[in-house]
Amino acid sequence: MNFNLVLLMPEIALTSAAGLAILVDAFSPRGLSRRFLLWIAGGGIAISAALALRLLGTNTSAFNGAIAVDDYAVFFKLLFLAATLLVLLAADTFMEETRHRAEFVGLLLLATTGLMLLAAAMDLITLYISIEISSLSIAFLSAWDKRGLRSTEAGLKYFLLSAMSSAVLLYGMALLYGLTGHTRLDLIATQIGQGPNAALFLALAMLLAGFGFKVSAVPFQMWTPDVYEGAPLPITAFLSVASKAAGFAATVRVLQIALPTSQTDWTVLVAALAAATMTVGNIVALVQTNMKRMLAYSSIAQAGYVLVGVAAASQLGVSAVMFYLLAYTATNLAAFIACIAIFNLTDSEQIGDLRGLRWRSPWLAFALAVSLLSLAGLPPFVGFFAKLYVFWAAADRGLLWLVLVGVVNSAVSLYYYAQVIHDMYITGIGGGEPGVGDPVTTLGPRRPSPGLSTALTLAVIGVLVFGVLSGFFFGIGDVAARTVAR
Amino acid sequence: MNCPTDNFICNPFLYFHLAANAIFRDHLPEPLGTIIVLALTVAMVTTLIALIVMSQVWAERRIVGFMQGRLGPNRVGPAGLLQSVADAVKLLLKEIIIPTQADKIPFMLAPLLVLVPSLVVWSIIPWGPGLSVTDLNIGVLFVLGLGGIPTIGILTAGWASSNKYALLGGMRAAAQLIAYEIPLVIVVLVPVLLAGTMSLGGIVEAQSNLWFLFFLPVGPVAFLLFLVAGIAEVNRSPFDLPEAESEIVAGFHTEYSGMPFALFFLAEYANSFAVSAMTTTLFLGGWGGPILPPFIWFFLKTYAVFFVLVWIRGTLPRLRYDQLMRTAWKVALPLALVTLGVAAIELSLIRSLLG
Amino acid sequence: MIAPTEALVAGSFYTFAAIALAGAIGVVLARKVFHSALFLVLTLASLAATFVILGADFLGAVQIVIYVGAITVLILFGIMLTPRNVELPESSGVGRSTAGVFVAAAVFIVSTTVIVTSQWPRSMSTPIPDRPTTEAIGQGLFTTYALPFEMASILLLIAMIGAIVIAREEQ
């Protein structure tokens, strides 16, 4: 029995920060100020990150095998903490307008705790509960803007569909438990016999369906556009990066540790999911006119590229997945935070209303352009290297057709990303100079807050630095990947 | 100085059981004999409960009468003892009226949903050493579970009657039951903790030296909390908001008449008596006591608790709705949690001191 | 006490399984939401009975306390707070209900086939443990499964905070 609490300190620190924020707010007569809450949350995140860093290289399992404390988990924990910090900074304006700020911050921190545990889960029970922790808090956070009907709809939709997917996931886990008599991933692997087994295949399919919901892979993506559109934008950003990355972290761990013997089965399934996800996401994104929905479909397509790396099923594949998620987190956060700032200025979510943005606020236009180009996978941005590694890993395993599908999809995606950039930089009313009817110049009451600017700057720096130093960061992922991949 | 359990006077039920076994189980093929013996046991318990309820109704009306300076029923039979029988006959003979707008099947189902669980509770309450229909090792949990089902019946009655007052009564009942179930469950854990078992028989035996009521300081607090939450659970005065006649006619059973009404009535008293019996079992040492036969002790204590319930009813006015909710969430719940915590700490201290 | 004979166990299992199924079908087919909720009570209570038959007495009782006693009461409470006599729409198009039936049948056929044809490591006729499970569950929760247990409490905390925030009136 290993009850070494040191191994759990990052999560404990974050949970304590959440509790502190909520309790201090409840007992202070006028409620806490936004600044104070940010200090508590930021402090919690910093302490948690420091404690997580100390666990690097520990590579053990804790609490009777319930969670793993390996470099793979620590990598993802740091990623989630960084993403949460940026989301909190970006939520500046939103928090100013909403009530229950302390609870908002608290639930966001608890959601992050759930994601951190999900990335570390080594046992089906822990895995399931951490999925529920994150899903439930995200559902509440999506519905936070109670005056907006769409926010409520987003929360309800996310809640119902995540409950549905949890049921499927649980059924898969039950089959796995029935087949092996264990809930621990490493013990499951020892009990699974060789050879075809219909129940195992069904369990695998159901697990993939459950995780597919979390990472919004086609055909489990239906909720994505509506929830992304309806939820408060900071939460959408959180959902699109941290929640998705945690879903992938858990998928890879379960597939690599518990089910290595049925690798041929899941390679086929995941490759099919990847091809479908990339294609559907990109094609539907082509016709979107709403920026949020466009980014939603774009994030579906991005999940497809990550799945290519998962299908590669090698150490190279795992490290490619990790690097892709790092790149995607920085890039997508930059895109969403830029959108928050732009929507605050224009009060419109239509892509067409971005016309002439470069005159109105050149810095926001630049940030959005960089992140979109990175999402499209153009060098020298980080998105290019991320795709390169993922495709390389797939090609290495002989999945050439999948690489081909991916490359074609990248080309297709360039069209809609470039469309936005074209609107911002080239199209202007009257052929260039800002005119009277230009949407961006006529509106614009709210300038970006300091927190929002900081978050955007950090995210864009991330996109640029990760791109320039891609070899270094890929190397970090490669070392960490060794703890789960064989 | 205890009554030997194989003595006829001390434990007549044992002899009934032996006789039933000798008649049926020895002569009939196996599942059949067992089933007949079980059915007989159930029939006996149910009949006893019906008799007990009659005695309770009489006792309550007489006692409340005296408390209010009047005589209460005293015409039918000696001292009015047969009044309840007359009432029962009258109710049985009355027409069953089902409102045209009512949802008929749930309407008729509701009284059963309320009554049956309160009868089933009696199958595990021990009347003497080893003297219960069955002694479950999760007895306490079982009783708590059964305690939640009548709520569904009351809600169903309120909804199916198609009557505003009934609906209001049903809603009040549900809110009240949910609110008081939580402190009740928590405080029940105190005797469970002290006895180290969830079996009702085991809890009674654990009190052979000291009633849990006297386990200071938590015993009296837990006892009072249990009694209060228990009264709230069975909707007795002063927690009878679901049927507050001055506000919502008769609450959830406004539209009921004849036999279905009689079932609600029966259930109400069976529930009150079950709460008294549970109080006895959990805090007052159950059937334990010197000289007298155990089942006599059990009924003596239970009737004593029931007298307290009647006394409370005769004394206290009905709570207002907000007072009811405030009491549950802001007083009873924290107090119950503290009691449980103190009990756990005290117990572990005692254990470590005694080695 | 009666010794649970093989026939008695099998008989009660099939009885309660049939009741649970009937209740589940009732939940789907009932036209009034309130009736659906009552059928749900039936299903959940029968499931509790099957738990007990399978030797999980503690789980059976907990199922009654939580699902029958608390959750369905909340559901019924919620139904009563919604306008009266809300009937479910006739059907949301023939196509959709056909699709529903088709999917349900497919899931049923696939899972049954898989369950029947697969090689399960443990025999299905494991003798039912004849001892209380309460203590073992308590031990497990505080040793082997301490972490999931604590995580579940975080989950409940989240549910509580979220529910209060969502339900609270905006001023």
Contact B159/C41, CB-based, under 8 Å?
Answer: no
**pLDDT score at B90:** 83
> In which domain, by residue range, is C158 found?
132-171
A106 contact residues in C (CB cutoff 8 A): 161
- The one-letter code for the residue type at A338 is A
**Separation of alpha carbons A44 and A36, rounded Å:** 12
Look at residue C101 and tell me if it is in a domain: no
Contact C155/A133, CB-based, under 8 Å?
Answer: yes
Which of A405-414, A430-439, C84-93, C137-146 bottoms out in mean pLDDT, i.e. has the lowest?
A: A430-439
Of residues B247 and B162, more confidently modeled:
B162
CATH code where residue C2 lies: 1.20.120.1200
Contact A139/C162, CB-based, under 8 Å?
Answer: yes
Look at residue C52 and tell me if it is in a domain: yes
B198 contact residues in C (CB cutoff 8 A): 134
- For the cut 70, the answer to whether the pLDDT of residue C85 exceeds it is no
Q: How many CB atoms lie within 10 A of CB B212?
A: 24
Check if C113 contacts A (Cβ < 8 Å). Answer: yes
Tens-digit pLDDT profile for residues B143-177: 888 888 888 888 888 888 888 888 888 888 888 88
C117 contact residues in A (CB cutoff 8 A): 198
Average pLDDT over residues C93-113: 83
Q: pLDDT band for B132, please (50, 70, 90 cuts).
A: confident
- For the cut 50, the answer to whether the pLDDT of residue C1 exceeds it is no
- Report CA-CA distances (Å) from C7 to A423, B233, C3, C10, C14: 76, 39, 11, 5, 11
Please say whether the beta carbons of B43 and B37 come within 8 A.
no
C143 contact residues in A (CB cutoff 8 A): 1, 64
Which neighbouring-strand residues pair with C32? C87
Min Cα separation C150/chain A (Å):
10
**Max Cα distance, chain A (Å):** 73
Return the structure tokens found at A243. 């929640």
Contact A107/C122, CB-based, under 8 Å?
Answer: no
**Separation of alpha carbons C71 and B149, rounded Å:** 11
**Separation of alpha carbons A275 and A263, rounded Å:** 18
Return all residues near A458 (Cβ < 8 A) that are at least 6 apart.
A86, A89
Query: Angle at the Cα of A18 (from A13 to A21), degrees rounded to 5?
Result: 120
Look at residue C14 and tell me if it is in a domain: yes
Min Cα separation C111/chain A (Å):
8
From the CA atom positions of chain A, what is the Rg in Å? 22
Check if C156 contacts A (Cβ < 8 Å). Answer: no
Average pLDDT over residues B210-238: 85
C118 contact residues in A (CB cutoff 8 A): 179, 197-200
Please say whether the beta carbons of A192 and A259 come within 8 A.
yes
A106, A129, A199: residue with CB nearest C115:
A199
Nearest CA-CA partner of A169 in A133, A114, A137, A213: A213
B175 contact residues in C (CB cutoff 8 A): 77
C46 contact residues in B (CB cutoff 8 A): none
Look at residue C168 and tell me if it is in a domain: yes
**pLDDT score at B163:** 80
Query: Of C116, C143, C165, C170, which to mutate for an interface test with A (greatest number of A Cβ within 10 Å)?
Result: C165
DSSP C87: B
Which of B92-96, B127-131, B184-188 bottoms out in mean pLDDT, i.e. has the lowest?
A: B127-131
Please say whether the beta carbons of A413 and A300 come within 8 A.
no
Tens-digit pLDDT profile for residues B270-301: 888 888 988 998 888 878 777 777 778 888 88
Query: Of B21, B132, B142, B172, which to mutate for an interface test with C (greatest number of C Cβ within 10 Å)?
Result: B142
Q: Among A11-20, C1-10, C23-32, which range has the highest average pLDDT?
A: A11-20
**pLDDT score at B247:** 72
Return the structure tokens found at A337. 């935070």
Check if B148 contacts C (Cβ < 8 Å). Answer: yes
**pLDDT score at A442:** 45
Residues C76 and C145 in one domain: no
Q: What pTM does this model have? A: 0.88
Check if C34 contacts B (Cβ < 8 Å). Answer: yes
Within 13 A of A365's CA, how many CA atoms are on the CB side?
Answer: 20
Residue of A nearest to C121 (CA): A179
Look at residue C121 and tell me if it is in a domain: no
Min Cα separation C100/chain A (Å):
15
Neighbours of chain B (3+ CB pairs under 8 A): C
Contact B141/C68, CB-based, under 8 Å?
Answer: no
Question: Taking the C-alpha atoms of B259, B261, B262 and B265 in order, what is their torsion angle to the nearest 10 degrees?
Answer: 170
**Separation of alpha carbons B121 and B234, rounded Å:** 13
The chain-wide mean pLDDT, for chain B, equals 82
C62 contact residues in B (CB cutoff 8 A): 141, 145
Look at residue C170 and tell me if it is in a domain: yes
Name the 3-class secondary structure at A65.
coil
Q: pLDDT band for B268, please (50, 70, 90 cuts).
A: confident
Number of structural domains in chain C: 2
Query: Of B159, B167, B168, which to mutate for an interface test with C (greatest number of C Cβ within 10 Å)?
Result: B159
Average pLDDT over residues B192-200: 85
**pLDDT score at A11:** 92
B34, B146, B170: residue with CB nearest C80:
B170
Contact C143/A64, CB-based, under 8 Å?
Answer: yes
Q: Do chains C and B touch (3 or more CB pairs under 8 A)?
A: yes
Look at residue C99 and tell me if it is in a domain: no
**pLDDT score at A12:** 93
Sign of CA dihedral B132, B137, B141, B145: negative
- The one-letter code for the residue type at B205 is E
C80 contact residues in B (CB cutoff 8 A): 155, 158-159, 167, 170-171, 174
* Ramachandran angles phi, psi of B333, nearest 5°: -65, -50
Look at residue C127 and tell me if it is in a domain: no
Contact A15/C114, CB-based, under 8 Å?
Answer: no
Min Cα separation C162/chain A (Å):
6
**Separation of alpha carbons C35 and A469, rounded Å:** 63
Contact A202/C120, CB-based, under 8 Å?
Answer: no
Query: Of C1, C12, C41, C64, which to mutate for an interface test with B (greatest number of B Cβ within 10 Å)?
Result: C64
Which neighbouring-strand residues pair with A121? A67
**pLDDT score at A36:** 86
- For the cut 60, the answer to whether the pLDDT of residue C123 exceeds it is no
Tens-digit pLDDT profile for residues B72-94: 787 877 877 888 888 888 888 88
- Which residue's structure tokens are 């939640």? B148
**Separation of alpha carbons B162 and B304, rounded Å:** 40
Residue of B nearest to C135 (CA): B197
A64, A113, A130: residue with CB nearest C144:
A64
Percent of chain B beyond pLDDT 70? 95
Residues C83 and C136 in one domain: no
DSSP B241-302: GGG-HHHHTTGGGTT--HHHHHHHHHHHHHHHHHHHHHHHHHHS-TT--SSS-HHHHHHHHH
DSSP B53-77: HHHHHHHHHHHHHHHTTS--S-SSS
- For the cut 60, the answer to whether the pLDDT of residue C140 exceeds it is yes
Which neighbouring-strand residues pair with A69? A60
- For the cut 60, the answer to whether the pLDDT of residue B197 exceeds it is yes
B268: left (phi over 0), alpha (psi -120 to 50) or beta: alpha
A1, A15, A146: residue with CB nearest C154:
A15
Residue ranges of B 169-188 with Cβ closer than 8 A to chain C: 170-171, 174-175, 177-178, 181, 185
Please say whether the beta carbons of A21 and A109 come within 8 A.
yes
Q: At what angle do helices B30-67 and B258-283 cross, to 10 degrees?
A: 90
Contact C154/A143, CB-based, under 8 Å?
Answer: no
Size of interface A-C (CB pairs under 8 A): 93
**pLDDT score at A408:** 93
For chain B, the structural domain boundaries read 102-354
Q: pLDDT band for C131, please (50, 70, 90 cuts).
A: low
* Ramachandran angles phi, psi of A469, nearest 5°: -100, 40
**Residues in chain A, pLDDT under 50:** 430, 435-437, 441-443
Neighbours of chain A (3+ CB pairs under 8 A): C
Q: Which residue stretches of A55-148 are H helix?
A: 71-90, 92-97, 101-120, 124-142
**Max Cα distance, chain B (Å):** 69
B31 contact residues in C (CB cutoff 8 A): 5, 7-8
B151 contact residues in C (CB cutoff 8 A): 69, 73
Residues C4 and C83 in one domain: yes
Return all residues near A431 (Cβ < 8 A) that are at least 6 apart.
none
Q: pLDDT band for B113, please (50, 70, 90 cuts).
A: confident
Of residues B332 and A346, more confidently modeled:
B332
**Separation of alpha carbons B345 and B352, rounded Å:** 11
Contact A129/C158, CB-based, under 8 Å?
Answer: no
Q: How many CB atoms lie within 10 A of CB A450?
A: 9
Please say whether the beta carbons of C42 and C64 come within 8 A.
no
Residue of C nearest to B196 (CA): C135
**Max Cα distance, chain C (Å):** 63
Average pLDDT over residues C75-84: 78
**Separation of alpha carbons A4 and A95, rounded Å:** 37
